[in-house]
Structures are given as C-alpha cells and as structure tokens.
Amino acid sequence: MQKRTLGKSGLEVSAIGLGCMGLNFAYGSALPRQDAIDLIRGAFERGVTFFDTAEAYGPFTNEEIVGEALAPFRDQVVIATKFGFKDGEVAKGQDSRPENIRAVAEASLKRLKTDRIDLFYQHRVDTAVPMEDVAGTVKDLIREGKVKHFGLSEAGAQSIRRAHAVQPVAALQSEYSLWWREPEGEILPLLEELGIGFVAFSPLGKGFLTGKIDANTSFAQGDFRNIVPRFTTEARQANRRLVDAISAIAAARGATPAQIALAWLLAQKPWIVPIPGTTKLHRLDENLGAAAIELDLADLRQVEDALAGITIAGARYPADLAARVGR
C-alpha cells in the first residue's frame, strides 16, 4: 500500500484508509463485535494504516472496537477520532466548549486504549463557540502530548482559516466523490494554499457508486440512507446515469466502478486520502485495489467527458443535517 502525507503536517498515512463508522453505526444492523475487529485487523494486514472513528459512532462503541482491534499494533497505525456533539449524541447538537473537548479527549483515550490521539477532528463547527477557543484547546492538548494533530470536518472556508491561524490544521475531512464535487470550488484551493490535507469520506457515495444499488434496493431499518433525499427511489433512478457512465469506464480498464471512483479521487491531489467503509473483506480488497490503478490526464478527461451533462438528483443531506455543514 502506498503512503501519502496529509498536507504539510508530516502525518503519513496509507493512501486509502478505513472509515469504521459503518461497522456499527448509521447503516442498519451492527456487525458482530468480533467480526468488526477481524475486519479492522484484516485491513491492517493489507497495508491500511489510517483508521477513522468518532465518539458519536454508537455513541462510544465504535471507538471501543477500534481501540481493541488496533491495540496489538498501535504504534504502526494512525487513529483519527472526533469531538463536538453533546454527550456524543448527534441528535443533541454541537458542543465544542473547551471543557467538553478536554473531557472527550480523556474518554476517547481510554476507549481507544492509547496514550495519544493521532488526529483529533472537530466533528462539526459549533457556532456557539469561537473557533479560536476550539483550536486553542486542541493546541493545549497537543502541547500536553495527548493529541498529535488537529483536524476539522465539514467546515467552511472562514472556519478553516480561523482555526489554522491558531493551530495548524493537518486535515479537513469532508464528503467528496464523483457525485459530490462541491469541495472543488472553494475548499480544495484553500487547502492547497494553507498546506492542509483532505480526507474524503463517503468516497463511494454511501455505496451508490459501487453500482450495487438501484431503484429497487431496500435499506434496512435504521439505515441513514432511508432519510437522505439523494436515495429516494426517484433520485436513485435518475442518478443511475452516473453509475452507468463510471461502469463503462471501469469495464474498459478491467476494474470495478468502485475502484475507478477511488482511483479518480487519488488522482486529484497527492494529499487527498479517501476512507471508504465496508463490513466485508472482499469489498475491502476491492477498495484497496484502487490504489494500484493510475489514471493519467487522458483517463481523467475521459471521466469528465463521460459525466458532462449529468446532473445529480437529490440533496446529500436532509435539511436539518445540511444546516450543520460548511459553516
């Protein structure tokens, strides 16, 4: 597995990481605990060194699983986790008060069975707390050795600049994929200017870009996609054009649509790292295979030409969740 460095931070990670959220949160039934541990360890055995979790995933249980899974080789991996919700519950809203950031850090260290958090993200910008206070608190945690690097998730340009002025931001984690390209407008140029890495979550469009989801697909009870406008039956039918175009390119390369989608992200910038999630080892192998696919300028033009004129139907978040991003 190739390695990448997140911006100017010096934080080196595998070119493709593992988003651990879906192991037990947001996508229906949780994977049995030992199966989740085995999958995380399987990812490490395949060269993955970058693992993403958060106190809000569960809440708390995802961190516990990640901590147990990675304990045998803790010093060989990078663990990212997040703070910023009241009591770790998304439904309760933001809480990035300095005292809560500190409390989350201490609790996360215990759940992760570690003495430091490699990358500590603010999960969502909290408009009730000045960004300078947030960044300053993480700066103190870094001085104390409890945190190594500071990150933001789904933050807007102004928040990124304000945070970075207090404590250098190592990475921004936001959604980015062939069906959500908004970061290309303002965010990617800003990150390049400031030397900040980009960690792309949902790089496979919450599974849609794999080609395995169509208008007839039913999602399990508790699956987040049941409330996402982009996943209504009508939107899935309309968005199939995108998947068909990617599938044609993949077939010509002897690859899968998921591999082309991930390879496309890797080809955008050398400091972009996608973190696809999965609960299946064969999908993990498929995803990691994308790192060996190099798309040159001609390939990228082919992708652009194939997708030209395709408009994606449906918003990526319900209105209440959309209000929390880009602030």
Cα 100 to chain centroid, rounded = 23
Greatest Cα pair distance in the chain: 54
Identity of residue 291: A
Residue 115: phi, psi to the nearest 5?
Answer: -105, 0
Using only C-alpha atoms, the chain has a radius of gyration, in whole angstroms, of 19
Q: Which of 27, 57, 121, 176 is catalytic?
A: 57
Residue 130: phi, psi to the nearest 5?
Answer: -55, 135
Q: Is 57 a catalytic residue?
A: yes
Alpha-carbon distance of 212 to 200, in angstroms, equals 21
Alpha-carbon distance of 128 to 149, in angstroms, equals 23
- Of 12, 45, 15, residue with least CA distance to 291: 15
Residue 99: CB atoms within 10 A of its CB come to 9
DSSP code per residue over 233-263 = HHHHHHHHHHHHHHHHHHHHHT--HHHHHHH
Per the CB < 8 A criterion, the answer to whether 198 and 174 are in contact is yes
Catalytic residues: 57
